[in-house]
Amino acid sequence: MSAKWYETQGPEGDVVLSTRIRLARNLSDIPFGVNLDAAGRRQAVNRCSKAFAQVLPEAKITEMEAYSATDAHSLAEKRLISPEFADREPGTALVLMPDETVSVMLCEEDHIRLQVMQPGLDLENTWKIADMIDTAVAAKLPYAFDEQLGYLTQCPTNVGLAMRASVMLHLPALSQNGAVKRLTENIGKLGMTLRGAFGEGSAAQASMVQLSNQMTLGLSESDALQNLQTVTLQLVEQERRAQAEECRNSLFTDQIWRAYGILKYARRLETAEAAKLLSLVRMGACRGVLPVKTETVTALLTRIQPAVLELAEHTHDARERDEKRAELIRTTI
Amino acid sequence: MSAKWYETQGPEGDVVLSTRIRLARNLSDIPFGVNLDAAGRRQAVNRCSKAFAQVLPEAKITEMEAYSATDAHSLAEKRLISPEFADREPGTALVLMPDETVSVMLCEEDHIRLQVMQPGLDLENTWKIADMIDTAVAAKLPYAFDEQLGYLTQCPTNVGLAMRASVMLHLPALSQNGAVKRLTENIGKLGMTLRGAFGEGSAAQASMVQLSNQMTLGLSESDALQNLQTVTLQLVEQERRAQAEECRNSLFTDQIWRAYGILKYARRLETAEAAKLLSLVRMGACRGVLPVKTETVTALLTRIQPAVLELAEHTHDARERDEKRAELIRTTI
């Protein structure tokens, strides 16, 4: 398996796992997504595919129906597609670059959902890549755009910039001391949202949260990105201070070492437990407590997800998967 | 630290940690223990000490008052003296062989409580050693003995053989499946008792039980020992079968590996938790699941006891002791 973007470490990589920008675009001369049947979606997808094939010649373009359920779920677990898109509605398709930095859902909620991901905190580059692809595609397809409102989208909350920028954060110390809970409730005032990154279960266990901008009207892309950058850097500093404080507590350090010990030797691990222990180990790696590389742990957080693991290890049931998960972790860390 | 009997492995050593025989003897020409004051105890101790100094010239004879509280507790933790004797009543003394196989409490409940310990299941040798010492001492001191009843003792339940033979068993699988609980309730019918070996707390955690004969009247020493031998061998076989069965269960094997992982890396361990995890690891060692020697784990079960640890590591408080305990274990297994 060649290294993917999510297996490398980027800027502020101790706290920021990745940066993602999603753009929603629609064609102006056909109905929006919800008004299309399978045949209508196929037509829209055909036109978009041609444009993307020219703009991203290395990309693989696949009808979602051609993926197995496990393939589709593994794409969602790697956050390359939305969980809903993994339902493989007839007529939908995915454009995917080999390094998995760029994925485009065709006929998800909008005709085009372009997504660019980069490791660490890297809003500028991520935006540049997204903007470059978007500009090139715009030259080939008639985008639904209003001079007053901006980009038109299926859902009114996206109209305008039609951009959602987000960063995935690992906040074990701020989760531990209750700060994440308070932030989740109050960060809306800054026009942002904070939520668990892998869905409720294992994300909460792993202390992974996704911070994203919510405002799409009344400001430019660069303002929106600058706001996100500022708040992210504040959280990074807060998390680092909180981690340093936690690690002065020998009881907490003991918890980190125990998590490491269990992961080094357990023979069966469910996803949620593994995520919880890896989160502690990742913090131990960041603080220099454990002899482990942070990016090794980061990569494992993706590689232990059920469908990703099933594809890599050809497992057949949950028990075998738990055994393979334990084996993968103990032979890796 | 030179290897003591409890750091080596004897016959049936996977299940039987040690064999112990205690003989109670009293002098016929002075009052029994409870009727003696400190001065009376000193006189009795002086006479007994002289006899033991001749019979066991290598033994160290020490007034209990000369021991520190920690010294005395460590002797009790190693089961060389009774917990009550660790109170260091004025006038009491201890005869102790350097290899700690023989210890004699002078003026505990009886004037003489001679105790011989051997690793593994070894009733015959243990008895031979005890009998040899007892016979030699009997030639020098007037024992309280009744032709009808046998040896006379402070407590009527000991009159007769005045011998208690016991074996210390590690029964993790029979504890797990509930058999130990049933045995504890029913084994009285065979004239024996089964109870936790290190006092309630850590013994229950470590699945260590002491099986001992209770009958002292109406049978010979060799009959009593033969009964104990027979029941012990049955328990050994039952435990081995139960362990083999448990180890076919991959969930249980996982528990063994996790216990090993925690012990290899934890930075703080309290006695009870350490005992519980070491018990699992000992079973893993016996069954060949873990790359650990059984006798290493057996020795640790003694070496992690609070007072033994305090003496060896010169710790000052409970927290430091928990840290040293964790360090001792992870650098040993």
d(CA B229, CA B223) in angstroms, rounded, equals 10
From the CA of A198, how many Å to the nearest CA of chain B?
Answer: 26
Q: Which residues of A touch B258 (CB under 8 A)?
A: 261-262, 265-266
From the CA of B278, how many Å to the nearest CA of chain A?
Answer: 15
CB spacing of A267 vs B260 below 8 angstroms? no
Give the residue, A270 or A181, on which the prediction is more confident. Answer: A270
From the CA of A12, how many Å to the nearest CA of chain B?
Answer: 29
CB pairs A-B closer than 8 Å: 51
Q: Would you state the pLDDT for residue B252?
A: 87
Q: Residue type for B149, please?
A: L
Give burial (CB, 10 Å; 0-12/13-18/19+) of B91. buried
DSSP B86: G
> pTM for the full model?
0.88
Percentage of chain A modeled with pLDDT above 70: 96
From the CA of B263, how many Å to the nearest CA of chain A?
Answer: 8
Q: Which residues of A touch B265 (CB under 8 A)?
A: 257-258, 260-261, 264
CB spacing of A265 vs B250 below 8 angstroms? no
From the CA of A266, how many Å to the nearest CA of chain B?
Answer: 5
Q: Residue type for B191, please?
A: G
Q: What is the mean pLDDT of residues A254-272?
A: 97
Q: Would you state the pLDDT for residue B29?
A: 94
CB spacing of A254 vs B268 below 8 angstroms? yes
> What is the chain A residue with the closest CA to B263?
A261
Domains of chain A, each with CATH number or no CATH: 5-242 (3.30.590.10), 250-332 (no CATH)
CB spacing of A265 vs B268 below 8 angstroms? no
For testing the chain B interface, which of A248, A254, A256, A327 should be mutated: the one with the most B CBs within 10 Å?
A254
pLDDT per residue rounded down to tens, chain B (333 residues)? 345 877 889 999 999 999 999 999 999 999 998 889 999 999 999 999 999 999 999 999 999 999 999 999 999 999 999 999 999 999 999 999 999 999 999 999 999 999 999 999 999 999 999 999 999 999 999 999 999 989 999 998 888 889 999 999 999 999 888 889 888 888 888 889 998 755 555 566 789 999 998 766 778 888 889 999 999 999 999 999 999 998 888 888 999 999 999 999 999 999 999 999 999 999 999 999 999 999 999 999 999 999 999 999 999 899 999 999 999 999 999
From the CA of B322, how many Å to the nearest CA of chain A?
Answer: 11
CB spacing of B261 vs A262 below 8 angstroms? yes
Contacts with B97 (C-beta within 8 Å, 6 or more apart), sequence order: B56, B58, B59, B60, B103
Q: Are A208 and A161 in contact (CB under 8 A)?
A: no
Q: Which two tokens stand for residue B330?
A: 């992870």
For testing the chain A interface, which of B254, B281, B289, B325 should be mutated: the one with the most A CBs within 10 Å?
B254
Residues A201/A204/A209/A212 CA torsion (nearest 10 deg): 50
Local confidence band at A215 (pLDDT 50, 70, 90 cut-offs): low
Q: The tokens 């070496």 sit on which residue?
A: B303
Q: Are A29 and A141 in contact (CB under 8 A)?
A: no
d(CA B307, CA B323) in angstroms, rounded, equals 14
Q: Would you state the pLDDT for residue B134?
A: 98
Which among B254, B265, B268 has the least Cβ separation from residue A251? B268
Q: Would you state the pLDDT for residue B1?
A: 39
From the CA of A281, how many Å to the nearest CA of chain B?
Answer: 12
Q: Which residues of B touch A250 (CB under 8 A)?
A: 267-268, 323
Q: What value does the mean pLDDT of chain A take? A: 92
CB spacing of A253 vs B267 below 8 angstroms? yes
Contacts with A141 (C-beta within 8 Å, 6 or more apart), sequence order: A25, A27, A47, A48, A51
For testing the chain A interface, which of B258, B277, B327 should be mutated: the one with the most A CBs within 10 Å?
B258
**Coil, strand or helix at B240:** helix
* Residue A226 pLDDT greater than 70, yes or no: yes
Which among B254, B266, B268 has the least Cβ separation from residue A267? B254
Q: Would you state the pLDDT for residue A1?
A: 39
CB spacing of B258 vs A254 below 8 angstroms? no
Per-residue model confidence as pLDDT tens digits over A152-205? 999 988 888 899 999 999 999 998 888 898 888 888 888 899 987 555 555 667
Q: Would you state the pLDDT for residue A190?
A: 85
Percentage of chain A modeled with pLDDT above 90: 77
Please tell me chain B's helix, strand, coil percentages from 3-state DSSP, rounded to the nearest 5: 55, 15, 30
Q: What is the mean pLDDT of residues A37-43?
A: 94
Of the CA atoms within 13 Å of residue B302, those in its CB half-sphere come to: 20
The per-residue DSSP string of B120-161 comes to SS-HHHHHHHHHHHHHHHHTTS-B-EETTTEE--SSGGGTBT
From the CA of A320, how many Å to the nearest CA of chain B?
Answer: 11
Q: Would you state the pLDDT for residue A204?
A: 64
The per-residue DSSP string of A247-258 comes to HTSHHHHHHHHH
Q: Would you state the pLDDT for residue A275?
A: 94
From the CA of B46, how many Å to the nearest CA of chain A?
Answer: 51
CA separation (Å) from B278 to A234, B183, B202, B272, B320?
45, 23, 11, 10, 20
For chain A, list residues whose CB is within 8 angstroms of any CB belonging to chain B: 250-251, 253-254, 257-258, 260-268, 323, 326
Local confidence band at A221 (pLDDT 50, 70, 90 cut-offs): confident
Q: Which residues of A touch B284 (CB under 8 A)?
A: none
Per-residue model confidence as pLDDT tens digits over A91-141? 999 999 999 999 999 999 999 999 999 999 999 999 999 999 999 999 999
| Among the listed residues A176, A166, A229, the one whose alpha carbon sits nearest the alpha carbon of residue A17 | A166
Q: Which residues of B touch A258 (CB under 8 A)?
A: 261-262, 265-266
Q: Which residues of A touch B262 (CB under 8 A)?
A: 258, 261-262
Q: Which residues of A touch B250 (CB under 8 A)?
A: 267-268, 323
For chain B, list residues whose CB is within 8 angstroms of any CB belonging to chain A: 250-251, 253-254, 257-258, 260-268, 323, 326
CB spacing of A257 vs B251 below 8 angstroms? no
CB spacing of A264 vs B264 below 8 angstroms? yes
